[in-house]
Amino acid sequence: MTRKIYLCCLTFLGAISCNAQKAKYLYESERLKIEQLTENTYLHLTYLKTQDFGNVACNGMIVIDKGEALIFDTPANDADSQNLINWTESVLKSKVIGIVATHHHIDCLGGLKEFHKREIPSYANNKTIELAKVTNRILPQNGFDDQLELKVGDKKVMNEFMGEGHTKDNIISYFSNENVLFGGCLIKSVGASKGNLENANVDEWSKTVERIRTTFGDVEIIIPGHGKSGGQELLDYTIELFN
């Protein structure tokens, strides 16, 4: 099977899957949607208003344990961050103890000010902090180079820089207790286009995702930055898309 035919087949199957299995949201409003993926893991979905594409749906992750919560990627603005924090603490009964930005774009840290206002510590790759300075965004408070392990309740989430792709600073976050990986914009949903390549390294993108596939071979659920979550097929699709 040629690569072109393979990608077309994946796109068709992805479209069937999306139509057959609509997300069942635990919470849904005009600006915020929450989907429960596992016992302790949730997907948060908010919207980025753009001139070219209208309201773009943006994914993030919530991990909870023992009355604590870690959030991965902020909504694009502070008002939606306020809604997300309020919902997490009131409905999940989990105090937000940290926010991780997976890269420097607005759909990852545009709502960071609200987290800082509530004295919630923020974390990011040091490259993300440097790039956020250039774009005059609110800066994450705590930086790391390669790996950062964060504790939530009695569990841990590993945050790791695996290589360049969507941006030079993109990281992934892996919750090993439930085999859930938040790939952010580095990982594409099945059927997605290449998307925003303004800060991308397309030559390294597939190689980076191949390292993720090798390192996290037991991952069962993968959350992309945009679009439907899935399994290992998201890694396969992203690799093929950029080969």
Q: Burial, 92: exposed, middle or buried (Cβ in 10 Å; 0-12, 13-18, 19+)? A: buried
Rounded to an integer, the average pLDDT of 85-105 is 98
90: part of which helix (H) or strand (E)? helix 78-91
Give the span between the Cα atoms of 144 and 129, in whole angstroms. Answer: 10
Give me the residue spans of the domains in the chain. 28-242
Per-residue pLDDT, 21: 45
Is 186 within 8 Å of 170 (Cβ atoms)? yes
Supply angle C-alpha 137, 173, 132, rounded to 5: 15
In sequence order, which residues have a C-beta less than 8 Å from that of residue 239 and are 6 or more positions away?
Answer: 206, 209, 210, 213
Give the span between the Cα atoms of 238 and 242, in whole angstroms. Answer: 6
pLDDT in tens, 135-151: 889 999 999 999 999 99
Is 158 within 8 Å of 173 (Cβ atoms)? yes
Supply angle C-alpha 195, 199, 200, rounded to 5: 60
Per-residue pLDDT, 145: 96
At residue 15, does pLDDT exceed 90?
A: no
Per-residue pLDDT, 22: 60
At residue 7, does pLDDT exceed 70?
A: no
Give the span between the Cα atoms of 223 and 207, in whole angstroms. Answer: 19
Catalytic residue positions, numbered = 103, 105, 107, 166, 185, 188, 196, 226
More confident residue, 197 or 13: 197
Residues in the chain: 243
* Least confident window among 9-23, 108-122, 212-226: 9-23
The CATH architecture of the domain made up of 28-242 is: 4-Layer Sandwich (3.60)
pLDDT in tens, 55-83: 999 999 999 999 999 999 999 999 999 99
Rounded to an integer, the average pLDDT of 16-36 is 77
Name the band, by pLDDT with cuts 50, 70 and 90, for residue 54.
Answer: confident
**Tell me, what amino acid is at 144?**
F
Name the band, by pLDDT with cuts 50, 70 and 90, for residue 4.
Answer: very low
- Give the three-state DSSP class for 1: coil
At residue 122, does pLDDT exceed 60?
A: yes
pLDDT in tens, 79-91: 999 999 999 999 9
Q: How many helices (H) and strands (E) does the chain have?
A: 7, 13
